[in-house]
Structure 1
C-alpha cells in the first residue's frame, strides 16, 4: 500500500482492513510481548520519496535501501524506555509493557503497519457501528517521524481515537485538534523552529539570507512559514530555491543534477553569506557533495531540525570546508545508560511462528542496523541524546497515562481492558517530571520543551553538535548565546551577510529595489535629524532648534541681535556720535548767530524746533543695539519716529514758505497774510505731530510689542530676536507719513529751483528729501523681501544716515557760510541778492 490510500473515504479504508491480512515477524528487536503493547513507527531504512514503489501492489522491500542510523537510534530509545519501565516497580507494578515496532521506510510504508496495529490477534478488524468498546492490538502509537507520514497514520488512528505521539514531526498543521484529535508530539512545533532561526539571524546581524527548501511538503511548509514570520522583520531573502527530490534509492537524474549545480552556483555568486536549509536529510547528500565540488566556502549554513544532527551528512568528506554549520534542534537531555544500550547485542530466542501465519514481511527486518549504528557510536555518544529524549518521554507519557487509568498504586495495578479513547483522556492530563524536565501537553498537543542552537564541530573527541544557544518556547526568546563560537573566517570574525551596511547616525535609508534590506544611506537634510540607525525617515527639529545636514541631534539656534562689538555697530555708533556732536555744534552756532540773516532765512526759531528732535533722535540710536527689550522696542516705534516726523514737518513747511515768499507772496498776498498772522508753520507742525502720535498709538495697539524670534534665511543656525513678528509692517506704517511729507517737501523745494544762487535753500532741501525718500524706500523694499539679521543693521544704518542727511544736507551749508563767509551773513548782502533776482525776473 502507499500514501495514496489517504484520498479514499473512511469506510473504504475500513473495508481494506477487513480484506487485507497483515503479518509480523516475531523478533526480540521489533517485538516484545506484554500486558499492553505500544506501536512504534520508525525509519530504519531510508527510501527517498519516489514513485517506484507505487507501480506495484505490495509493501516495499525496505531492506533494499540504506540504513538510517538516527532511525534505529530512536527505535532503540523506545526499547530502552519500555525495558526501564518494566524494571521499575513504581510506575506499572505487576504489569509488563510490550511493543510492536515497524520500519516505515521513510514515508513509503505507513498504511500496512497501521492496519496491523488496529487489527486484533486474528489480523481482522470487524465493521461495527460503535468502536467505543473495541480493543486494538496496541494501546498507543509512537511515531512516525515525518509530517506526511504522521498525517497519513493519524487520519486512520483518529477514527478509533487511538493515541498517537510523534517525536519529530514539526508541521503546524498537526496542531489542528479537529483534524487530529488523538495526536500529540514531544517536539516543539515548526513555528518555534522558524522563530529560533530568525532570532539567530537577528542576533548576528544577518539580514540578507538565502532560503533553500526541498520540493516536498516539509520544505514547502517550512519555507512558507519562514516567509510569513519575516513580515515586519528587518531580514530579507536574497532568493529562494527548491531542491529536487531524488527518486528511490537516491537515484538522481541528469536534469535534477543540473538543477543542483545551478542552485549551488547561484549561492556562490550571491552577496548573501547565510543559507537557511529547510529540507529532509536524504535530499541534502547530493546537494552538499555539489557544494564541495564547486568549492563553495565561507558560507553559514543554518540547518532545520530534520538534518541539524544528522551524522551521515556530518561525515561527508571535506564538508567542514563549506563554511560554518549551525542548526536548530531539540534540547540535549542525557539519558543514563542509553549509550551502552544503543549498541547492545540482544540474544533472545525468537518466538515460534504459528503455522497458520503467512511469511513475514520486510518491514521488521534490519540485519545491518546494529553494525551501522556501532560504526557511528562515537559521534552519537558525543552528540548527546536529543530526539532520543522525545521518544523516551513519549513512552513515559503513555506509561503515566496507563498508571492513572489502571489505578496503580505502589504495589499493583488493576489489570483491565484499556480502550483507546479512555487512554487518550489520560494522556491529555499527564504532568510529570522526567530527568529533571516537566512533561505535559498543552491544548495543541505540544510539549513545553525548548530548542537549542548547535554548531557542527569536527575535532576529535569533541561534541560534533556543540550547543551555542537556547530557545525558550514559553517566552519565544533566544538566550544564552555563546561568545566563543568557532567561525570559519579569518580572525574568527562573525560572518557578514547584509544587503546594505548600516547607515550612520544622521542618515536615513533610501530603499533600493524591492527589498527593504537594500538601501542607500542619505544624509538627513538641514533642520532634521536621525539618532536611530535603523530608521528610514528623519525627524524634524523643534521650532527653536536646528541641525546641519547629516546631524544626529538638534541644537539650540544661536540667538542673534545687533551687538555692540560688531564692526557695523561700531561704525553706526561712531557716525551717530559724530552726528550728535555736529548737530549740537550747529545748535550752538545757530544760537550764537540767532539774529543774523543766515539763521533767520533758515527758519529762525523753527531751526531749534528741528535741531532739538534731531539731537533726541541721535541719542535714541542705542535702543537699536543690544538684546531687544519691550522698552527698547517701544522707543524704536515711538521716540525716533516722532522726532524724525517733527524734523520732516519743519523742512516741509520751510520749503513751502520759500515758495510762498518768492512766488506766491505777489499772487496770494491775502493768504500769505493769514499764514503769517496765525503762525501757520507752527500750527502745521503741531497738527502733523498730533497725526503722527495717533498713527503710532494705533500701530502699538494693532501690532503689540512682543519679543519674537524668526529664522535667518541665510543661516538656519541663527535665530533672530525681533521686537515683534510684524516689525517691518509696523515700520512701514510709521514711516508712511514721513514719506508723504518728504514728497511734498521735495515738490515745494523743486518749485523753488530758480531762486537766487547765493540764497537757495531749496536745493539743500531737495537733496535732503531725495536722499531720505530713496533710503526709506530701499529699506522698506529690503525688509519686504529679506528677513535676516541684516535687517536690524540696515534699519539703524538708514536711520543714522537720514539724520546725517538733514544735519549735513540742510544745516551744514548754513554753518559753513556763517563760519567761513561772515560777509555774506549781512542784511545788505541778502537784500542785494533778492533785489537782483527780482530785477532779473521782471
Structure 2
C-alpha cells in the first residue's frame, strides 16, 4: 500500500472518533436533509500540544479581525440562507483542517465503519448501503482556504461524486474535472482574477511590476498564473520574492526580519512602483509593519482576494501608499445585516463553560458595534455562501420535483444531487446563477481602493471586471497617494514617442532604448515595435513618422515657367518653319531653293513642323503613347533633318571636285540620286536604333525618386533614361561632326553655294548642346532632366529652322535679283576663273 493510500486510510480511521452527532450542539436545527457548511471561526491559532488548541481572546486584534469577517458574517449568512436541517461545526485553524469533512462524510456511513480497517474500496461500497435511513449529508459548502478545498475535493473523489461547493477557493486546479469531478464553486477562478489584474495594469500603463508571494500553494499557483498571462502582454516582472510566513502567534525571528529587510531593500532600489501580493493576510502583518518603518509612500499595492478587504490591515496601513484590491462582486442581501445583529441580541447569555463556541459567542455579541466593518469586508463573501446554499436548494428542489403542495420523499444520493447542480439556472438578487463547464459561477469581480478618510465605506469600488466578456470597466477615479494626484509611473523605460522603435536593453522586453525611425521608414506599432518598416516605392515618410504619405508626382505641367518658355520657343519654331515652307513652296523653282536641296528641303521642313507639333507630348504625366512619341517620333525627325544637312554639306563641298576629278563617280551620284539614298540609309539606321531601344527597354511610364527631394516621385518613360538618350544621340553627334567637317571644307565655294558658316553654326550648336545634355544627365537625376531634354531638342530644331533656312528666306524675300539663274552662273564663272 502506497503512502497516499495509507494517508487516506488513516483519515477514514478517524471517522469513528469524529462521527458523534452534534445533537447537543447549540448550533443544532432539525430538518429532513443535512447540508454541510465549513467556515473559519478563528484564526491565528497557536498550538500548545498535539491535540490541544489555544483559542484567542476577542481582544486579540488579529483574532478579532478573523472572527468579525468570517465567524461574524459567513456563518450567519449560512444560517440566514438555509431553510432545511442544519448542523454547524467550527473549523478553528490548521490543526483541525481535516476534521470537518470527515465528520460530515462519516455520519451517513457509521454502520460500515467498524469493518473498514484499511479496505478503502469496501468502505466506498458501504458508504450509502445497508441503511434504512435517508442519506443525511447531501452537500458540503466548503472552506475558503485553498489547501482545505483541495483536501475536500480529493475526499469527494473518494466518495464517488459527492458534490462540494467552495465559496472562496480560486485555484485553477479545481477546474480540472478529471481530478475534481464533484468540485463546484461560486467565485471566479484564479485565471479571471489574474486577467483582471493585468487589464488594470494595462489601463494605467504599468509594465514594470514586482510580485511578492507566500510560500504555499496559493502564492505559487497564482504567481505562476500571472507569469503565464504576462508572457502574452507587454508587462514585465522586475523581480519576485517569497515572503516569510510566521508561525501563528509567534514573534518574528531574526531570520524572518533579515529576509524582510532584504526584500524591502530591493523594493527601494527598483524602478518599479507597482507591487502585486499573493499571500494570506497572516504573512502580511510583519511585512507591512516593516513597510511603514521604511516609509514607503509612493508604491501602488495590488492586493489579491485573500487580503483585499482585510479591515485590520486597512486600519494599520494609512499613508503607506495606494492600495488597490481585487475582490468578488458586492451584492447586497436584503435583511441580512439586521438578521446578524438581531441574532446576537436575542441569543441568551452563554453558560459558564470553556468551549470554543463560548468564546465565539462572546465575539458575536459585539457584531452590532462593528456592523459597518462587517458589511464592507465580510459581506462581499457572504453572497458566495448565499449563492452556494441556494444552488443546493434549487438542485434539491428539482430532484424532489417540489411544487406548491409539497415534495417527493425519495432517497437522494449525492451523485444524484451533483447531476442536478450542474443544471441549475436561477436568478438571485438580480444575478444570473449557473455553473459553467468548469463548475464556476461566472460572477463579476471588482477592483476596490482602500479609502483612509471614509469610515463608512473604506473599500470603494473603482472598476468592474466581467469574466464572460473579459473586459474591465473603470467606473470611478482613483485617489492616488502622489503629488497632484497623478497616476504613478511604473515603467522600466519610458514610452517611446510616436515614430520611435524600441531597442531592447537587457533581458526584459520592457527595458529598451528609443531610436528614431529614419526618413523613408515608419513604425507600425500594431505589427512590430522593434523595427521600422520601409515605405513602399510610391510613398515616403519623414523622421519619426508612424505612416507613409504618397510622394508628389513630378512631371512637366503647363502652368510651370520652364514649360511655358519651352512652349513659346516651340511655337516660334513652328511658325517660322511654316513661314519658310510657304516661302519655299512659292519659290520652289528658283536657284536658291534648288541650291538648298530642292525637294529635300520640303522633307526637312515637314519633319521640323512635325517635331515642333509634338512638343506637347512632353507636358503632363507620361503615358505609353507619349513615351513612344518621345523615344521614337521626336528623335527620328531630328535625326533625318541632321542627315539631310550633312548630306547637303557633303554634296556642296565635294560636287565640284567630284565632277572634275571623279567624273564617273559623280555620274553615279547624279544618276542614282546619291543624296536621297544616303538620307534613306541614315534614316533606316536611326530607325533600327530606335526600335532596338524600344524593345530593349519599355514604353511604359516608370517612377523614380528625386535624389534631391525624396518626397517627389519623378515620372519618366523608362528607367535607363540616360543610357537611352546617349544611345539615341550617338548617331546625331556623328552626323553633326560630319556636317561641320564638310561645311568647313567648302568654305571657298562661291558665295551663293557657300553655306559653310550657317551649317557650321547649326552643327556646332547641335553637337555642343547634345554633349552638354548628356553631361548634365550623367551628374543630375532630378526633375529638370525632362525639361532640359525638351529644351535642348527644341533649340536644335530652331537652329536648323532659323540657322539653315533663315538666310535663304532672307535672300529670297529681300534680294530677289540674286535669286536668278544668270546671277548664279556669273558667280560660278568667276569662281572657276579664279581657280584656274
- How does the TM-score come out when normalised to structure 1? 0.80
Kindly provide the CA deviation profile for residues 431-462 of structure 1, in whole angstroms up to 9, marking residues without a partner as x. Answer: 44444444443343322322222221122443
Distance 1:590 1:403 in 2: 120
Q: CA deviation at 1:265?
A: 3.7
The 1:580–1:68 alpha-carbon spacing in structure 2 relative to 1, beyond 3 Å, is same
2:147 matched residue in structure 1: 148
The 1:445–1:60 alpha-carbon spacing in structure 2 relative to 1, beyond 3 Å, is farther
Distance 1:397 1:517 in 2: 45
3-state SS in 2 of match to 1:45: coil
The 1:18–1:205 alpha-carbon spacing in structure 2 relative to 1, beyond 3 Å, is closer
The 1:61–1:795 alpha-carbon spacing in structure 2 relative to 1, beyond 3 Å, is same
Distance 2:113 2:380 in 1: 37
The 1:401–1:629 alpha-carbon spacing in structure 2 relative to 1, beyond 3 Å, is closer
1:282 matched residue in structure 2: 282
3-state SS in 2 of match to 1:563: coil
The 1:637–1:150 alpha-carbon spacing in structure 2 relative to 1, beyond 3 Å, is closer
Aligned residues of 1:311 and 1:376 also touching (Cα < 8 A): no
Distance 2:336 2:243 in 1: 36
The 1:830–1:483 alpha-carbon spacing in structure 2 relative to 1, beyond 3 Å, is farther
Q: Do structure 1's residue 323 and structure 2's residue 321 form an aligned pair?
A: yes
The 1:110–1:648 alpha-carbon spacing in structure 2 relative to 1, beyond 3 Å, is same
Which among 465, 471, 482 is matched to residue 477 of structure 1? Answer: 471
* Matches for 1:131-280 after TM superposition, within 5 Å: 131-133=126-128, 138-161=137-160, 162-280=162-280
Q: CA deviation at 1:668?
A: 2.7
Which among 101, 110, 113 is matched to residue 125 of structure 1? Answer: 113
Q: CA deviation at 1:197?
A: 1.6
* Matches for 1:438-449 after TM superposition, within 5 Å: 438-449=432-443
Deviates more, 1:575-584 or 1:650-659: 575-584
* Matches for 1:442-461 after TM superposition, within 5 Å: 442-461=436-455
Distance 1:828 1:72 in 2: 141
Which among 715, 718, 729 is matched to residue 712 of structure 2? Answer: 718
The 1:596–1:826 alpha-carbon spacing in structure 2 relative to 1, beyond 3 Å, is farther
The 1:694–1:185 alpha-carbon spacing in structure 2 relative to 1, beyond 3 Å, is closer
Q: CA deviation at 1:307?
A: 0.6
Which among 39, 43, 46 is matched to residue 42 of structure 1? Answer: 39
2:482 matched residue in structure 1: 489
2:373 matched residue in structure 1: 379
The 1:336–1:650 alpha-carbon spacing in structure 2 relative to 1, beyond 3 Å, is closer
The 1:771–1:120 alpha-carbon spacing in structure 2 relative to 1, beyond 3 Å, is same
Q: CA deviation at 1:762?
A: 5.9
Distance 2:391 2:565 in 1: 98
The 1:772–1:56 alpha-carbon spacing in structure 2 relative to 1, beyond 3 Å, is farther
Distance 2:79 2:599 in 1: 133
The 1:6–1:487 alpha-carbon spacing in structure 2 relative to 1, beyond 3 Å, is farther
Unaligned runs of 5+ in 1: 354-359
Kindly provide the CA deviation profile for residues 660-713 of structure 1, in whole angstroms up to 9, marking residues without a partner as x. Answer: 346655553321232234442234234544665676678778878666655434
Which among 80, 86, 106 is matched to residue 97 of structure 1? Answer: 86
Q: CA deviation at 1:808?
A: 6.9
* Matches for 1:572-583 after TM superposition, within 5 Å: 572-573=566-567, 575-576=569-570
Kindly provide the CA deviation profile for residues 355-412 of structure 1, in whole angstroms up to 9, marking residues without a partner as x. Answer: xxxxx99799657644776664432234572112222333344445555566666676
2:119 matched residue in structure 1: none
Distance 1:272 1:683 in 2: 92
Q: CA deviation at 1:170?
A: 0.6
Q: Do structure 1's residue 111 and structure 2's residue 104 form an aligned pair?
A: no
Distance 2:664 2:560 in 1: 57
Distance 1:177 1:637 in 2: 79
Aligned residues of 1:208 and 1:498 also touching (Cα < 8 A): yes
Aligned residues of 2:112 and 2:127 also touching (Cα < 8 A): no
Aligned residues of 1:40 and 1:102 also touching (Cα < 8 A): no
Aligned residues of 2:211 and 2:241 also touching (Cα < 8 A): yes
Q: Do structure 1's residue 74 and structure 2's residue 61 form an aligned pair?
A: no
Distance 2:743 2:680 in 1: 21
Q: CA deviation at 1:100?
A: 2.3
Q: CA deviation at 1:483?
A: 3.3
Q: CA deviation at 1:71?
A: 4.9
* Matches for 1:81-92 after TM superposition, within 5 Å: 81=77, 83-84=79-80, 92=84
1:392 matched residue in structure 2: 386
Aligned residues of 2:765 and 2:799 also touching (Cα < 8 A): yes
Aligned residues of 1:696 and 1:734 also touching (Cα < 8 A): yes
Aligned residues of 1:274 and 1:299 also touching (Cα < 8 A): yes
Distance 1:310 1:193 in 2: 17
The 1:15–1:447 alpha-carbon spacing in structure 2 relative to 1, beyond 3 Å, is closer
The 1:610–1:38 alpha-carbon spacing in structure 2 relative to 1, beyond 3 Å, is closer
Distance 1:551 1:484 in 2: 34
Distance 2:832 2:37 in 1: 139
Aligned residues of 2:739 and 2:760 also touching (Cα < 8 A): yes
Deviates more, 1:234-243 or 1:21-30: 21-30
Kindly provide the CA deviation profile for residues 218-277 of structure 1, in whole angstroms up to 9, marking residues without a partner as x. Answer: 111111111222333333333333322223425333333233233334334433333222
Distance 2:113 2:717 in 1: 101
The 1:565–1:78 alpha-carbon spacing in structure 2 relative to 1, beyond 3 Å, is closer
Which among 655, 660, 665 is matched to residue 671 of structure 1? Answer: 665
Distance 2:465 2:376 in 1: 21
Distance 2:641 2:411 in 1: 124
Distance 2:364 2:169 in 1: 25
The 1:692–1:116 alpha-carbon spacing in structure 2 relative to 1, beyond 3 Å, is closer
For CA contacts below 8 A with separation 6 or more, give which structure has more relative contact order.
1
Aligned residues of 1:489 and 1:495 also touching (Cα < 8 A): yes
Q: CA deviation at 1:295?
A: 1.9
The 1:183–1:75 alpha-carbon spacing in structure 2 relative to 1, beyond 3 Å, is farther
Alpha carbon RMSD of aligned pairs, Å? 4.8
Deviates more, 1:291-300 or 1:58-67: 58-67
1:653 matched residue in structure 2: 647
Distance 2:351 2:321 in 1: 51
Q: CA deviation at 1:173?
A: 0.6
The 1:666–1:514 alpha-carbon spacing in structure 2 relative to 1, beyond 3 Å, is farther
3-state SS in 2 of match to 1:46: coil
Q: CA deviation at 1:635?
A: 5.0
Deviates more, 1:303-312 or 1:619-628: 619-628
Q: Do structure 1's residue 305 and structure 2's residue 305 form an aligned pair?
A: yes
2:794 matched residue in structure 1: 800
Aligned residues of 2:42 and 2:66 also touching (Cα < 8 A): no
1:356 matched residue in structure 2: none
Distance 1:386 1:244 in 2: 28
Deviates more, 1:72-81 or 1:271-280: 72-81
Aligned residues of 1:546 and 1:716 also touching (Cα < 8 A): yes
Q: CA deviation at 1:714?
A: 3.4
3-state SS in 1 of match to 2:271: coil
Deviates more, 1:181-190 or 1:492-501: 492-501
Which among 10, 14, 17 is matched to residue 14 of structure 2? Answer: 17
Aligned residues of 2:311 and 2:377 also touching (Cα < 8 A): no
Kindly provide the CA deviation profile for residues 601-655 of structure 1, in whole angstroms up to 9, marking residues without a partner as x. Answer: 7767766665664465456545434565777656545554343233222232234
3-state SS in 2 of match to 1:42: coil
Distance 1:139 1:809 in 2: 119
Which among 309, 332, 335 is matched to residue 334 of structure 1? Answer: 332
Aligned residues of 1:207 and 1:236 also touching (Cα < 8 A): yes
The 1:513–1:746 alpha-carbon spacing in structure 2 relative to 1, beyond 3 Å, is farther
The 1:138–1:608 alpha-carbon spacing in structure 2 relative to 1, beyond 3 Å, is closer
